[in-house]
Each structure stands twice: as structure tokens, then as C-alpha cells.
Structure 1
Amino acid sequence: MTDLTNTVLAYKLLQSGTAIQQERQWLDRLQNRDWKDPKVRRRYESGISVIVASYLSVGTVIETLRSLEEQSLDHSKFEVIVVCNGPDDGTEKAIHDFAEEFPDFNLRVFGSDVSNAGNARNIGISLAKYEYITFIDADDQVEPHFLENSFSLASEDAVVISPIINCSESGRDENNALNTKISERSGTSVPLKEVPWVLGFNACKLISVYQLMKFKYSTKLRSGEDLVFFANLLSTSDLKVVFSEVLSDSAYLRTLSPDSVSRQPESFDFNVKQRVDCIFELRRIAVPEVNLAARQQLENAQLGFVKRYLDGHPEEAEDLENYLGSLGFLDFPWGTVNRGKAHDLVISYCFSPFSDTSAVVAEKAIAERQKYVDVISNDMSKVRRKDQSSSFLSARWIEDRIVINSAPSFAGWASISQFAEEALKRAESLSEEKSYRSLYSRALWVGSHVAAALYKRRNPHVVWTAEFSDPLRFGVDGQKRPGGLVHNNVSKSLFDVVEAHHYEVGEVETLFDLVEISTFILADEVIFTNQNQMDYMLSHYEPSFRHMVQEKSVVRPHPTPTKSSYFAVESNYNLSNSVVNIGYFGSFYTNRGLGDLFTALINCRAEERSQVMLHIFCNSVEEAKKKVDQWNLNDVVKINPYLPYMEFLNATTKFDVLLVNDISRNAGLSINPFLPSKLSDYRGSGARIWGLIDDGSPLSQQELDYSSAVGDSLGALKIISSVVEEHMDRPH
């Protein structure tokens, strides 16, 4: 538009939401087509569309427009699109007066009620008619040859970068950090992937509209939307950056004011939350492998803000963890933020991202201990599926993760020894830099304790805490676990420990004997999950040995996840509000209490049965469905596969009652030493807990909302009746 009347008319039309909306819809339809097809590619004129997002800029925008009106580039070769966003502070009249002063200036003005610079720039891109675009802030200016010089270097596969001079009350600063980097590359052309830092700002760029029209500025980000927008250019592998030569009067003049983004006061909101938002969006950009390192550099720059802030405010790390949970940002790079903090070591043979109860409990233990750690684990991909989400549980406390590539084995001494020796090498290497103060290991996978024992022997000053999830030497049937020993350097080292302490421990027949005994001797602290477990495991030893272990033992139940963990991943599993929903997560065995529950459901009164739904999540879905068919319970029992751990946590919050059961103990076990780890997960769900218990078991000693004995179907029936009655009494 070239005259005042049309300029103001366009502005008024947009405010009424008619003509411009229709034009934008038409342009959006064009943009959604396949531009690789030359028959549908929209034609843009040769020249530059200058886009100015204006927000409450009555005091500055005219100087911006004046610097554009003074450009040496032929005025027929560029247009200026001003998009006023938010309330009008007099900018409309100021532009009206400027247009009247320069009636031949190619100025188009639009408005939006939405106060958002990203949205304003999206509008500008959609309305551009020239084949190249540059952005100028409404409080900045450009020198007279800025557009002409940039246009002379333009091409569809290039990002042209011009010099940038900071302007403030102190004067002009040509030696600012950004311009120094630009000047060092003056007159050169390099692949974009080599200089991704040029994507971190709106200013001093000229880019083909064909590149920019593929993307949109985020309207949700409160800062960093320019970085994320331009980072989308990394999705194309062959773009280059052309750095303009330093020529007279061709720079971008950036105004620095007290409220500039670069001068924001330090705060959790700006330095952490807003930076995390940017990283979250960057992760969503699909880039070719060749550009992954470039995207990582952009992430690292944002992470630098987060790390510096949390180094000075460590007490706010929990707030970050909670915020990540609210976003569902499960793979946040905590290791970078935690750089230099780990002075404690964890050896967990099976660890995230592998799906295994032992891995999950180890993660919860790390979170409960609240020490920054390095973790050494084994590659379990041959025997366990991956569940990347579970890493969220402990990531806040981990600096380095070291994965040993040895053949996974529960009872193969050669493979366990290989892991232990390699883990020792890596731990020794790390400890040269970090001087570990403590060591934590956890087993049922014995490789954890074997590697820890080797490290403890080399580093006796390090305090070793060894946790046993279950009895090691004896299985759930009360019989000794089979596990042949191979005589090698590792077994010799552990036998030396046993022999040096002269305890009467009986004959060491299996690897489980050797690992349990040597761990009891070497560890500074031994953790059991319940008193029954400690009593049972130590009952196999003579009194002096038993007393030695008891003196350094602690009973600690499995930890409960943090509250944010229950809401980090939303489960889409649907539950009816019209019935009592009972959830069971675990292996499907009708002889472990579920048979009692099935019997109870069959014997329910019809009105009670119609008010109950049992949801079973297990690994043997088809077998479970057959059993439900045989019992004729399809109307009240639903069978589902296991859920990923973090989704499981969220699902538990949706149930009315959660069911946990004891093992079916046989005559080989004098006492029940097993406490189901699921109980600790249920604790944080907010649901009521129903235990199917073995008399005297650790579970029977816990605080439960409901309990019935394994084998007592009448007791289960009474609980169902009670639960239904409570449900009927609650308002819905």
C-alpha cells in the first residue's frame, strides 16, 4: 500500500477480522501444499519483505520506519509489513502521520488483538509478497545499506548474516560478543550445522521465504521463540550461512534497554522454566542425523542458564523436577545440569531404561537418598525390554551414566565377572576425578554387589551401602539357588575376603553363597526391605556372624516415588465412574489370591456384582483371558497388558482400590521374607489398598485399608461388599 488511506484502511479491516482473515486463510491453504511441485509453488516477487512486530512501540517504531525509508535499496524491491499486536498506545496515529509524510513508501500495516510477537511475525510471514524476509524489532534500526548488501548475497539455500551493533545509553558497541563472532567470519560461507549459534536471535538475518513459510513461531513460549523458530532450519541438511563483509553503513542496530531479554533479572521463571520450555520445543524438531550435534549446541546454550541458576539455588531443583513432570518432559538432560556435582557412586547391574523391578527400585532409592551420583550398570537389552520413561524417577540426581557391554546373566559367573571387572575399571577411572565418598549397590542381580565388593577392596575408605531386595542364597521356594562358581580372579578376590575374616559361614557352594557372605563382610551398611527378610537371611549363619551383620543393618521399605512422578505421563486407560474400579498390577496366578477374588465375585449378589470392575494388568494376557472365560467373569474382569512404569504410576491414581498380594508360601519357607515392591508404588497413588496376605508376612504387618487372607474367599467377598457399600454412599 502506498498511500495513507489504504494503510489505515488495512489496519482497520484487520481489527474487524474480515478481509485479512480471509487473505491469511487463503495463504495458509497455499502454504500447506507441496512446494516441491513447481506447478503449485506460490510465486514471490524478487525483493525483501521486512517484518516489524510492534507492541506498545509508539516511542520507537517511527525511528525504525525512518531507517527503512532511508535504505539505499530500490524502494520497489522491498516492502515493510508492520504488525501491531496488543493494545494501541498511539502507534496507529504515529504510523498514520509517518505514512502521510512518505506517501510513496511501500508500507503495509496490520493489527492483532493478541499480544504476542511470535503470532505477529507469523502474520507477517503469511502476508509477505517478496522472496526474502528479514525481521526488525520495533525499537531497532538498520543502517542505510543493510538491505542492499544483504540482498546482494541472498539465495534460497542461504542464511545471510550482517554485522550487528548494540546501541544503548552508553553509545554504540561494535565489539559486542555476537558481532565479534560475526566479524571473525566476515566474507565467508559455511554450512549451517557448523554455526548453529546464528539461529539464536531474530536480528540481522535475511532468509528465503520458501524456507521460513514451512514453520511458525511458537505462540506459547514467553522467550526464546526466535531460537526455536529458526532452529527449524536444521530440519534441512544443506543450508549454508553467508556472513556479509563488514561494509560501511550496512549493520543492524540493536537497541539495548533495561527490559531487553538479554538484561532480564535472574529468576527461576526466566532462567529455568522458560529455558526448559525452549529445550522441550527444540527436542520436538526432527533433524537429520548430520544436524543433531548442531541442535544439541542450541540445547546446551539454554541448559547453561539452567545450570548457572541451580548452582546458585540448589534448593529449587525440586521445583524444576515438578515442572518437568507437569510438562511430561521425561528425558530432560539432567546430567548436563548436574555436571561436577557427583561425589557418590551407584552400581546397579540392571538399571533404567530397562524394564525390571530391580531397576525401578534402584532408581527410587537414588531419589530417596538425595545424593548426586554416577551410575554404572549393564546393557540388559538381550533380556529386558526398554522403558525410557522410568529414567525420570532418578534423573535429577545423576551426573554420568556408564553402561557396561557384557552378556547379561543372573547366575552365569563368567558374565558376571566380566561385568564386575569392567565396572571396576570405569569406577576407578571416574574416581580419579571425583573422589567418591560413598558407594551404593543393590541386588537381586548379583553383579551389582560383585562389582561393588571389588571396588570396596581397592577403596576401603569409601562407605559402601549394600541393599538386598530379596533373599539371595535361597529362592521363593526356600531352596538354595543354583549357581555354579568358576574359579577366576573375581572369585579368588571374594574368597580372600571370606577367608581373611575367619567367620564360620559353612561351605560356600554357589556363587550366591559367595556374593552374599562377602557382601555381608565388606559392606559398611546392609539394607533389608523388611524385618522378616533380615531374620530369614541371617538365620542361616552362626551367632557371631549374624551379630556382626545385625550391628550394621537397617530395615528400609521400598521407597515411594515423588508426587510429580505420578503425573509425568498421562494414562489414557478409561474407567467408569459408575462402578468400583479395583486394579491389580502383577503376574497372573489364581493360586496367589486372585482365585479367591474370582470366587468372591461369582458369589456376589447381583446388585453388588454390577457395581464392581476388576482390572488386571499382567504379562500373560491370553492365559489370563482364558481363565476369566472359564470362570465366566467377563462382565466384571478386564485383562490388559502391562503398562510402562510411568503410565502405570498415573493409572494407579485413577482407581478406587489397588490390590496387592503375597506370594504363595510353601513348606520350604519357615517365614515369609518377601514384601511386594508394588506396595510402595501404591502408597503414593491416593487409592485405597487391599492386601491379600499370608499370615505373618511383611505385607500383613503394613497399614492397609483392607486385608483378607490368601485362601479366604469369604473374607474377600465381605471386602467387596464393604467397598461397594462405601461407593454407593459417596456422592457422584
Structure 2
Amino acid sequence: MSEPLPTPARDLVVSFCFPPYVDTAAIVAAKRVREAGRPVDVLQNRMGSERRTDPDLAQIAGDLVQRRHPIPSPTLFSAWRGISSFTEKGVQRALAWDREGPGYERMYSRAQFTASHFLAARFALLRPGLHWTAEFSDPLSRDVTGAVRRSPVRQDALLERLGEGMRRAGFAPPTSGNAYEWAEHLVFALADSVLFTNEHQRDLMIETVQDPELAARARERSVVAPHPTLPPEFYEMAEVDRPLDPARRHVGYFGNFYATRGMGSVLEALQALPQQQRDRLCLHVFAGQREELEREVRERGLRECVRTGPFLGFLQFLAMCRRMDVLLVSDAVTTGLLSTNPFLPSKWSDYRGSGVAVWGMVEPGSVLADQDLTYRSLAGHTTSAVQVLADLADGPVLRPGPAPAPA
């Protein structure tokens, strides 16, 4: 008996970064596919020159992905040459797939990276009946310090077609010549739904729009949807061989120690603890390029209570979360730089599904500060970090239980 044919996809996903490539953007896009629960075709960049692969990531979206085409465009994350090549090659593939099947009804695109929205906007203009949902992971035209990100567009046929599409929709194209601003304005003018991960991100991005009618449309079409959390079985799919001293409380941090995330205060806090409390704690940092961190750990005399490890594969990361007593996540430090903190770390969505206590190092009023954290301290504030570490060393570790499975 022949195998049944897969259900034709009526949804198109345009995500420059998508599994099996290892990147937060790829993981979140795959989670969105799983959350929606509908068969999809995927257009992505062939980015082996810039990102390693992890075959386990394919399990997130699973067999919902019917067709996947890695576009052989230059892996340039904001340069116009990469954007235009990705768009031109991708739209031809999208049109061919559209003709082969019953036709697409819905499209989802996600940035990072900006090329995703350019391709999606071009296809949406060619297929006006398509419902386009566009997601922003973070503000595109502003960086974490509030500075304007810039990447020049080129006055070519693609830009002219996109500008014509915006004018037909009743909005003037950007005059800045900045690809990041173009990506935002194309979405605000043409997308049917605009997805933000939190209210602060939405408000900060929309308040930069000078055209009040465009800003009003963006707000009217906006949807706030935090990063999805995977069901509990994903935390049991892998095993990680890492001995853990049963006499210590184990705190896990996954990712690099960024300057804007104030992680140096954790090491300062450990150093400030009395020796008997340090002896009951162990901080595990799983990161790339660990040399600088290991040097600082040696200089501070913390080698007995800080352990480093490499970046883990995604399923290994989820499994290791379950083995920790406490998981550490930190806000980006934006005070004095931005009017509001628009960043909600994507790791929070993974941590909350683990059933393990979470310690958040937060800015007052941030989105992370409003989450259901077990422990909290002020980002970059050593004294409050000392207090949390002392509580962990001396008291019982609270385990809130796993988050409810997605509906």
C-alpha cells in the first residue's frame, strides 16, 4: 500500500533563519509553527557559512513542515545585496509552490532577520488575498543602546515595487534610505497582523513612526504574543552527562555574559559571599568563547564554585535545565538609553516550561520583572544578587512545577 500524500500546505513561512540552523530566531519561528499546528512550506536562507546545524531542531515543528527550501542567497543579515537576492529568488519559489497546490491562504514572516519581511511584503503584494502575519523579535531600527541601526537600501526595481505597494496602500515609503526602517514600515503598512513579543516592544517601535496614520494602523493590527513554551516531553528527549555535587545548589546560566546584561554582578556577588555559603553553591555557565569568563573566574578565586561548559544543543539545553536547582536570566540594561525596556529574553519561555525555579535579574518596570519569577534581584546590582545567593545557600530551593501545556 502506498504512503498517503501529505496534506498540502495552505500556510507559507518566510524565515531567513529556520531549523536546522542554530539560532534563537530559528527556534522561535519553529515554535510558532508548532503552536499554530497547521502544515507549512518554509522559505529560509541557506546559511551554512554562518550558522552550524542541529538536526534535533527539526523536532520542534516536526512533520508540519511539508516543503522547505533553503534559498542560496548571500548570508548577509542586513546588507541590501543579501535582502534583494533572498527576495528575488524566494518570491519565484513561493509563486511556483503557490501554483502547484491549492494556493496559500496565510503567510508568516519573522525578523530577525530583515530579509524575511522584504520577501514576505513582495509576495503579499503579488497575492493580495493572502493573510500576512509578520513578527518582530526585537526593534529593528533601534539597537539595545537606543542608537539607530543603519543599512542602506539600493534604488533598484525591488525597492520601487515595494514603494509602489506602500503608496497604493495609502502610505509614503521611508525617505531615510535605511533598510531597517523600510522593513518596519512595510510591515506596518501591508501586514494583516503585526506580532510583538511584549507591549513595551510594540510601544517603542510604534512611537518612532512619524506618520500618525501609519502608526495607528500598526497599533490597530498589533498582536502581543510572548515566545511559545514547548510541552514537557521536549525536556525529556535528551540526556546530558554532567556530574553535579549533591552537596551544592546548582544555578544554571545559558548564553554569553553580555555587558548590557550586567552579568558581572553575579561573579561579584559570589565573591562577596562568606566561604561557607559559597561552598554550598555552584554556578554553571554554558557559553561559547569561555576564555575571558574563565580568566575572570580564576582572578576572583571562584574556580571551586563556577563551572563553565560549551553551548549545548537545544534538546540538551532543555534537559540540563531540568537538572539545575535554579535557572538564571537577566534583563538587558537599558536605563538611560531607551524610554522603556522592550526586550523579553527568549530563554524565559524555555525556562518556564522546565518546572525549575527561575532567578531574574531585572530592571524595574521591565517585561521580565512582571513575570512569575521565583527569585529576583536588580540587574547589575551586586548587593541584591548577594541576598538571592545567600537565600539559595541557606534555604530550600523552591520548585514551582512545570508551566501548563499549551492549549
- The residue that corresponds to 1:444 in the other structure is 112
Structure 1 residues 728 and 462, CA, compared in 2 at 3 Å: closer, same or farther?
closer
- The one of 311, 333, 341 aligned to 1:664: 333
CA contact (8 A) 2:198 2:225 kept: yes
CA contact (8 A) 1:471 1:537 kept: yes
1:386 paired to 2:53: yes
- The residue that corresponds to 2:162 in the other structure is 494
Q: Which has the higher contact order (CA 8 A, sep 6+)?
A: 2
Shift of 1:368: 0.8
CA contact (8 A) 1:588 1:620 kept: no
Q: 2 CA distance for matches of 1:355 and 1:511?
A: 25
Structure 1 residues 479 and 505, CA, compared in 2 at 3 Å: closer, same or farther?
farther
Shift of 1:555: 0.5
1:539 paired to 2:198: no
Instruction: Spell out, residue by residue over 1:471-513, the C-alpha distance to the aligned partner (whole angstroms, 9 max, x if none).
Output: 0111112111120111222211221123334446763320111
1:594 paired to 2:263: yes
- The residue that corresponds to 1:173 in the other structure is none
1:551 paired to 2:220: yes
SS at 2:396's partner residue? helix
Shift of 1:729: 10
Shift of 1:677: 0.4
1:575 paired to 2:244: yes
- The residue that corresponds to 1:360 in the other structure is 27
1:644 paired to 2:331: no
Letter aligned with residue 277 of structure 2? E
Give the CA RMSD over aligned residues: 1.9
Q: 1 CA distance for matches of 2:385 and 2:12?
A: 45
SS at 1:692's partner residue? strand
1:708 paired to 2:377: yes
Q: 2 CA distance for matches of 1:398 and 1:363?
A: 9
Shift of 1:391: 1.3
1:611 paired to 2:267: no
SS at 2:386's partner residue? helix
- The residue that corresponds to 1:38 in the other structure is none
Q: 2 CA distance for matches of 1:729 and 1:715?
A: 18
Question: What does 1:144-543 correspond to in 2, within 5 Å?
Answer: 304=3, 339-432=6-99, 433-503=101-171, 507-541=175-209, 542-543=211-212
Structure 1 residues 392 and 504, CA, compared in 2 at 3 Å: closer, same or farther?
same
Shift of 1:560: 0.8
Structure 1 residues 591 and 455, CA, compared in 2 at 3 Å: closer, same or farther?
closer
CA contact (8 A) 1:423 1:451 kept: yes
- Sequence identity (%): 35
SS at 2:223's partner residue? strand
- The residue that corresponds to 1:673 in the other structure is 342
Shift of 1:386: 1.2
Paired residues in the alignment total 397
Moved over 6 A (4+): none
Instruction: Spell out, residue by residue over 1:56-86, the C-alpha distance to the aligned partner (whole angstroms, 9 max, x if none).
Output: xxxxxxxxxxxxxxxxxxxxxxxxxxxxxxx
- The residue that corresponds to 2:405 in the other structure is none
Shift of 1:652: 0.7
Q: Larger radius of gyration, structure 1 or 2?
A: 1
SS at 1:434's partner residue? coil
Instruction: Spell out, residue by residue over 1:333-373, the C-alpha distance to the aligned partner (whole angstroms, 9 max, x if none).
Output: xxxxx713421111111111111110011011111111111
Q: 2 CA distance for matches of 1:354 and 1:666?
A: 33
CA contact (8 A) 1:661 1:691 kept: yes
- The residue that corresponds to 1:17 in the other structure is none
Structure 1: runs of 5 or more not aligned? 1-300, 308-337
CA contact (8 A) 2:171 2:189 kept: no
SS at 1:455's partner residue? helix
Structure 1 residues 350 and 729, CA, compared in 2 at 3 Å: closer, same or farther?
closer
Instruction: Spell out, residue by residue over 1:25-75, the C-alpha distance to the aligned partner (whole angstroms, 9 max, x if none).
Output: xxxxxxxxxxxxxxxxxxxxxxxxxxxxxxxxxxxxxxxxxxxxxxxxxxx
Letter aligned with residue 383 of structure 1? E
Structure 1 residues 425 and 728, CA, compared in 2 at 3 Å: closer, same or farther?
closer
Structure 1 residues 417 and 547, CA, compared in 2 at 3 Å: closer, same or farther?
same
SS at 1:466's partner residue? strand
Instruction: Spell out, residue by residue over 1:196-235, the C-alpha distance to the aligned partner (whole angstroms, 9 max, x if none).
Output: xxxxxxxxxxxxxxxxxxxxxxxxxxxxxxxxxxxxxxxx
Question: What does 1:680-691 correspond to in 2, within 5 Å?
Answer: 680-691=349-360
* TM-score between both structures, scaled by the size of structure 1: 0.53
* TM-score between both structures, scaled by the size of structure 2: 0.93
Q: 2 CA distance for matches of 1:668 and 1:495?
A: 32
Shift of 1:606: 2.3
Shift of 1:630: 1.5
- The residue that corresponds to 1:327 in the other structure is none
Question: What does 1:63-102 correspond to in 2, within 5 Å?
Answer: none
Shift of 1:588: 1.6
Q: 2 CA distance for matches of 1:506 and 1:430?
A: 31
Q: 1 CA distance for matches of 2:185 and 2:302?
A: 48
CA contact (8 A) 1:588 1:619 kept: no
- The residue that corresponds to 1:720 in the other structure is 389
Letter aligned with residue 592 of structure 1? R
Shift of 1:426: 0.8
Structure 1 residues 439 and 606, CA, compared in 2 at 3 Å: closer, same or farther?
same
Structure 1 residues 519 and 613, CA, compared in 2 at 3 Å: closer, same or farther?
same
Q: 2 CA distance for matches of 1:608 and 1:727?
A: 14
CA contact (8 A) 2:30 2:60 kept: yes
Q: 2 CA distance for matches of 1:510 and 1:521?
A: 16
- The residue that corresponds to 1:629 in the other structure is 298
Q: 1 CA distance for matches of 2:317 and 2:244?
A: 14
Shift of 1:591: 6.0
Q: 1 CA distance for matches of 2:143 and 2:265?
A: 25
Structure 1 residues 509 and 604, CA, compared in 2 at 3 Å: closer, same or farther?
same
Q: 2 CA distance for matches of 1:695 and 1:469?
A: 21
